[in-house]
Structure 1
Amino acid sequence: MKKIALYFLILIFGLIAFIFHTFSSTGYFRDIEPKHDFGEIFQTINLPGVEDMALAKKDSFLILSVDDRAKRRAGEDGLHGLFLLDLRQTPFETKEISVPENLTLYPHGISLIEIGPSQYQLAVINHVDGKHSIEFFRIQDGNVQFDRTLQDPLLISPNDLVLVGKDKFYYSNDHGNTSKLGVFAENYLGVAAANVGYFDGENFRIVAEDLAYPNGLVPDQSGEKLFVASSRGFLIRVYDIQENGDLVKVEDISIGSGIDNLEIDESGAIWTGAHPDLMTFSAYASGKKEFAPSEILKISYSKGQSQVESVWLDDGKTLSATSVAIPFGDYLFLGNVMDSKFLILKK
């Protein structure tokens, strides 16, 4: 009888420890005190679920990845697709990008690379009916045309991607498991079972493993290093890029927030939209909470001594669940997972 009672107590204490670890490691106990240091809200644009953006600095435009996830969660068909935002005049206006009638597009992570004068390649992660693909587009002088579709079994659960050359890109599988138990273990136990893949123009292969919910990716200005966000790990993993595209781990940068997409500015600093409380974000994403907190971080990388600066923090009432932050001139463009609008801040 005493042994049974002892086993029962051990089980109870183990369960309590698991619950406490899950909540503490996902930021649930963090105090969210709004801080809007970057500047004032310059403009609010009513586009839902602008989860990712891609900037063409030279030609001054943004491509927006739009998906009204809140309506889809409710079983309705909300707005979804790609939009172009012209940065040359204010107030800023967006224009929907037309796609072929036979292409259903629910975009997620996107990436843009210049391949010639006023010529770009755009790659888009697409999720349709549980299937994953990469959609390629060509942009010439602001005109966007669909190119082709890529599919592969190694697109397990693609979240974000970054072009590192024409037809070449890295991408994150935010989960390595597809079973309910495996996904639960990754989400709540923090099991690092996900990975990063690489497409070399001809073939897919996995080049980095043992990551906890990898998300945004961006190379440094030299193209010699790749930064990968680990949302569940609250860190950025730094890799050296090998000549054949393989990755060699350098170090982890502790961030203290559930970082999402990564962007790099002209000075080499990394900008990210983040989820400081992943438990509240999860409840928000499933419709159980009205708001989810948001954070914008600026990371200055230096091996072994990187600096992390929180430049914007909100309880979610101004903007919920930020996922991307892109600076351009005096402006900062803030996207999110499923709010009804996105924000433009001005210094």
Structure 2
Amino acid sequence: MRKRFIVLLAIVLVLGLYILYIFNSTGYFRKIENKMQGSILKEIPIAGVEDITVDEDDNFAIFISYDRAAERDGNPKRGGIYTMDLGDENLAVTALSEQMDLDLLPHGISLFQVDSTKHKLFVANHADGESVEVFDLFHTDSLVHVKTIKDEMIYAINDLVAVSENEFYFTNDHYYENTLGRLAENYLGLAKCETVYFDGSDYTVVDNSLAYANGINYDANRNLLFVASPRGFKIIVFSRLEDGKLDYLDTIDTGTGVDNLEFDKDGNIWSGSHPNLLAFTAYAKGKLPNAPSEIVKIDYRGQGDYSVETTFLDDGAKVSATSVAAPYKDLILVGNVMDDHFLILKN
């Protein structure tokens, strides 16, 4: 009888520690004290703007829309690609993909400048299986679909970053497809997600050490690749090798669920983030009316030398589940996973 009691007590203790670990490692106990540097300049009524990127030289932003809340509620809508004229005081928005015969449920995006009149746009797409859509963008307002890239290596794509006209890296945010495996990834923080390099013809897994690999971006000036792990509350820093493979350099502890990563003109990293992952999950399932949001600015100066600053923190009243913070001069374009609008902040 005594042995059974000890065994039962041990099981209860292990379960209790497991539950405590989940709550602690997902930010559940964090107190959200609203903070905002500057003010809200504008709300743009477009839903599910999960990713945004800015070309500061040509003064425009490009972003995607995918109304996940409508899809969750049984009313799926086609996604879209848009540009915003940042040189226009009204921040005019232009829809680029409305007339295309292409099913779009877009996720991450990446923009690569080819010359003074042309960019390549790469878009992670969840429609009709998992794929990467490649476009030519001319003069910032004319979009032409070039091709669809599909492969068994593209199976849970979250974000991507182009390093040339034909090469890109992308993250798969889960490794397992079965329920048990995904539970282990989501709640235990099992780190198996793959970051993959595509050289234009072949695929190479360049890392498989992250829990929920997410935002990815490349600093060409320093030859550094940054990959976000919101489940790990961290960003991994890699040095890019000549053959496209990666050499681990550093880990940035962010203290929040970092999502997409963008750079400002000084090389600082900006991330829309999820300070409470359990609240985000409940919100995404429609069980909570909102979820907290955070924007962090990271000054990465070199190995082991960095600072993390929270510039925006909100309980979800202004914006829920921030996923990207794209800087442009004194503006921050703030996207999110499921709201019916996104924000422009002015410092």
Which TM-score band (shorter chain)? over 0.9
What residue number does 1:227 align with? 226
Aligned counterpart, 1:14: 14
How far apart are 1:46 and its partner, in Å? 0.4
1:139 is the counterpart of 2:137:
yes
Q: Which residue of structure 1 lines up, in the alignment, with residue 124 of structure 2?
A: 125
Q: 1:23: which partner in 2? A: 23
Paired residue for 1:111?
Answer: 110
**Shift in Å, 1:102:** 3.8
1:307-322 to 2 correspondences below 5 Å:
307-322=307-322
Task: Kindly state the Cα deviation for residue 99 of structure 1 after the two structures are TM-superposed.
Answer: 5.6
| Distance in 1 between residues matched to 2:242 and 2:29, nearest whole Å | 43
**Once the two structures are superposed, what CA deviation does each residue of 1:153-182 show, in whole Å capped at 9, x if it has no partner?**
011211000011111111011111111111
Equivalent residue letter for 2:69: A
Q: Which residue of 2 aligns with 1:199?
A: 198
Q: Following the alignment from structure 1 to structure 2, what is the Cα–Cα distance between the partners of residues 222 and 175? A: 30
User: Is the contact between residue 59 and residue 118 of structure 1 (CA under 8 Å) also seen in structure 2?
Assistant: no
Deviation at 1:11, TM superposition (A): 0.9
Structure 1 CA distance for aligned equivalents of residues 331 and 250 of structure 2: 31
Name which of structure 1's ranges 313-322 and 86-95 shifts more when overlaid on structure 2: 86-95
Between the aligned partners of 2:130 and 2:155, the Cα distance in structure 1 is 8
Q: What is the alpha-carbon distance in structure 2 between the residues aligned to residue 311 and residue 54 of structure 1?
A: 19
Structure 1 residue aligned with 2:93: 94
Give me the whole-angstrom Cα distance separating, in 2, the residues matched to 1:48 and 1:335: 9
* CA distance in structure 1 between the aligned counterparts of 2:222 and 2:198, rounded to whole angstroms: 16
Maintained 8 Å contact 1:157/1:173: yes
Residue 341, structure 1, aligned to residue 341, structure 2 = yes
1:77: Cα distance to partner?
A: 2.1
Cα RMSD of the aligned pairs, angstroms, is 1.1
8 Å CA contact 1:132–1:155 kept in 2: the answer is yes
Q: For 2:202 and 2:78, how far apart are their aligned partners in 1?
A: 33
Alpha-carbon distance in structure 1 between the residues aligned to 2:177 and 2:98? 30
- Tell me, in whole angstroms, the C-alpha distance in 1 between the residues paired with 2:297 and 2:318: 20
Cα deviation for residue 196 of structure 1 reads 0.3
Provide the C-alpha distance between the structure 1 equivalents of 2:309 and 2:254, rounded to a whole number of angstroms: 9
Asked whether the equivalents of residues 48 and 79 of structure 1 are also in contact (C-alpha less than 8 Å), the reply is: no
Whole-angstrom CA distance in 2 between matches of 1:290 and 1:167: 41
Normalised by the length of structure 2, the TM-score is 0.97
The answer for the alignment partner of 2:154 in structure 1 is 155
1:76 aligns with: 75
Secondary structure, in 3 states, of the residue corresponding to 1:165?
Answer: coil
Q: 1-side partners of 2:182 and 2:92: how far apart? A: 39
Aligned length in residues: 345
Q: Match of 1:80, as an amino acid?
A: G
Tell me the alpha carbon deviations over residues 100-151 of structure 1, each in whole angstroms, 9 at most, x when there is no partner: 654210000000010011210000000025x100000001112111110000
In the alignment, the residues of structure 2 paired with residue 42 and residue 57 of structure 1 have an alpha-carbon distance, to the nearest angstrom, of 19
**SS of the residue aligned with 1:8?**
helix
Shift of 1:40: 0.7
State the match for 1:259 in structure 2.
Answer: 258
* Contact 1:44/1:344 (<8 A) preserved: yes
Partner amino acid for 1:3?
K
Note the residue ranges of structure 2 that are not aligned, 5 or more in a row. none
Distance (Å, rounded) in 2 between the aligned partners of 1:223 and 1:99: 37
- 1:290-329 aligned within 5 A: 290-302=289-301, 303-329=303-329
What is the rounded CA distance, in whole Å, between the counterparts of 1:325 and 1:154 in structure 2?
A: 28
TM-score of the pair, normalised by structure 1: 0.97
- Tell me, in whole angstroms, the C-alpha distance in 1 between the residues paired with 2:211 and 2:247: 17
Distance 2:222 2:215 in 1: 16
Q: Secondary structure of 1:50's partner?
A: coil
In the alignment, structure 1 segments of 5+ residues that lack a partner are none
CA contact (8 A) 2:78 2:103 kept: no
Of all paired residues, the percent bearing the same amino acid is 43
- Matched to 2:279, the amino acid is T
Task: Give every structure 1 segment of 4 or more consecutive aligned residues whose post-TM-superposition deviation is greater than 4 Å.
Answer: none
Distance 2:120 2:191 in 1: 32
| Superposed displacement of residue 56, structure 1 | 1.9
1:280 maps to which residue? 279
SS at match of 2:273: strand
Greater mean deviation of Cα atoms: 218-227 or 288-297: 218-227
Q: Distance in 2 between matches of 1:82 and 1:140?
A: 14
* Displacement of 1:221: 4.0
